[in-house]
Amino acid sequence: SKVDKMISDRAFEKRWGAKTSVKAAE
């Protein structure tokens, strides 16, 4: 679900940093 993705994206940002998360989202 969208919420699950948002939560996993937040965890990903905490782990790898926002830059990496943004790259993965593109």
**Tens of each residue's pLDDT in the chain, 26 residues:** 899 988 988 887 787 765 655 666 65
pLDDT, residue 17, reads: 65
Angle of helix 2-16 relative to helix 18-25, nearest 10 degrees, comes to 140
Q: How confident is the model at residue 10, as a pLDDT?
A: 87
Look at residue 18 in the predicted model and tell me its pLDDT: 58
For residue 9, what pLDDT is reported?
82
**3-state SS string for the chain:** CHHHHHHHHHHHHHHHCHHHHHHHHC
